[in-house]
Amino acid sequence: MADKTLAGKSAPRRIDQRRARTRSALVCAAQRLLAEGRTDVPVLEITELADIGVGSFYNHFDSKEELFRVAVEEALEWWGDLMDRLTTGFDDPAVAYAQSFRMTGRLHRRHQELSKVLLNHGLELAHADRGLAPRALKDIRAAVDARRFEVADLDLALAVTAGATLALAALLHAQPDRDDGKSTDRVALGLLQQFGVPADEAERICSLALPDLDLVDTMTG
């Protein structure tokens, strides 16, 4: 009796796991197409890329437009969640802001496909209520409240941050030989100074150690 009960419980679990894998394969395929700037493709091409049947597509999404929207949202949230894990434990919001920006710049090279999804959807990055934007705004607001930043317009500061992030990403992709760490730190230094952090203090913040990138790759699978 117990064996039948266990078998009855495991069957739905296997179905749920299979559905989750199928959905994940579709989202990953959509993200790959987004990174390539190819969204005007038939559903068949998406399912072939995901290695699933066409019928399975409609068990998860009503349209390819919905899939691409979800793919962008999940890319934003994945990146934002990673930044949460990498920037915990900082009492100084100016440091948290700089660490997040510096890590993001370096991850453009480590996770180029996701980086290109973000780059190709800059408006979502700048104005989305998930992902990097709300986290950056939180850090900016906290730094202003702590009198670490001198910012009169929070939305403008966020727009400047998003613009710098996207411009840096584009430059790193266009110039693969450019030192991503040094370039990112220079931009972060300029942002801190623009937000009122003294030059010597900005230099100190941008010289702080970052999480080990190999450990980051392990965290992200």
Identify whether 174 is part of a domain. yes
Other C-beta atoms lying within 10 Å of the C-beta of residue 134? 14
Look at 68-77, 165-174, 182-191 and tell me which has the smallest mean pLDDT: 68-77
Q: How many residues does the chain have?
A: 221
- Does residue 96 register a pLDDT over 60? yes
Q: How many whole angstroms from its chain centre is CA 113?
A: 11
Element (H, E) at 110: helix 93-110
Looking at the fold, whether 109 and 214 belong to one and the same domain comes out as yes
Q: 84 versus 52: which is more confidently predicted? A: 52
Identify whether 23 is part of a domain. yes
- Does residue 134 register a pLDDT over 90? no
- Does residue 7 register a pLDDT over 70? no
Looking at the fold, whether 21 and 103 belong to one and the same domain comes out as no
> Do 54 and 22 form a contact (C-beta atoms < 8 A)?
no
CATH of the domain at 128: 1.10.357.10
Task: Give pLDDT, residue 19.
Answer: 83
Looking at the fold, whether 29 and 91 belong to one and the same domain comes out as no
Task: Give pLDDT, residue 109.
Answer: 84
Amino acid present at 81: D
Identify whether 212 is part of a domain. yes
Q: Which domain holds residue 146?
A: 72-220
What's the mean pLDDT in 81-103?
Answer: 85
Identify whether 67 is part of a domain. no
What's the mean pLDDT in 84-105?
Answer: 86
Task: Give pLDDT, residue 181.
Answer: 95
Looking at the fold, whether 184 and 142 belong to one and the same domain comes out as yes
Looking at the fold, whether 45 and 107 belong to one and the same domain comes out as no
Looking at the fold, whether 45 and 118 belong to one and the same domain comes out as no
Looking at the fold, whether 105 and 161 belong to one and the same domain comes out as yes
- Does residue 213 register a pLDDT over 70? no
Indicate the residue among 27, 61, 95 that finishes a domain: 61
CA 41 – CA 215 distance, rounded (Å)? 36
Identify whether 82 is part of a domain. yes
Indicate the residue among 16, 33, 61 that finishes a domain: 61
Looking at the fold, whether 136 and 81 belong to one and the same domain comes out as yes
Looking at the fold, whether 56 and 86 belong to one and the same domain comes out as no
What pTM did the predictor assign?
0.74
Task: Give pLDDT, residue 219.
Answer: 47
- Average pLDDT, whole number, for the chain? 84
Indicate the residue among 22, 38, 61 that finishes a domain: 61
Angle between helix 154-174 and 93-110 (nearest 10): 30
Look at 98-102, 107-111, 139-143 and tell me which has the smallest mean pLDDT: 107-111
Task: Give pLDDT, residue 220.
Answer: 47
| Total domains, the chain | 2
Cα angle for residues 51, 41, 34 (degrees, 5° grid): 80
Identify whether 66 is part of a domain. no
Looking at the fold, whether 22 and 127 belong to one and the same domain comes out as no
pLDDT for 16-33, tens place per residue? 788 888 999 998 888 888
What's the mean pLDDT in 146-161?
Answer: 95
pLDDT band per the 50, 70, 90 thresholds, residue 118: confident
CATH of the domain at 4: 1.10.10
The residues, ordered by sequence, that sit 6+ positions from 151 with a Cβ below 8 Å of its Cβ are: 140, 143, 144, 157, 195, 196
Looking at the fold, whether 1 and 54 belong to one and the same domain comes out as yes
Looking at the fold, whether 156 and 82 belong to one and the same domain comes out as yes
pLDDT for 53-73, tens place per residue? 888 899 999 998 899 888 888
Task: Give pLDDT, residue 217.
Answer: 52
Identify whether 39 is part of a domain. yes
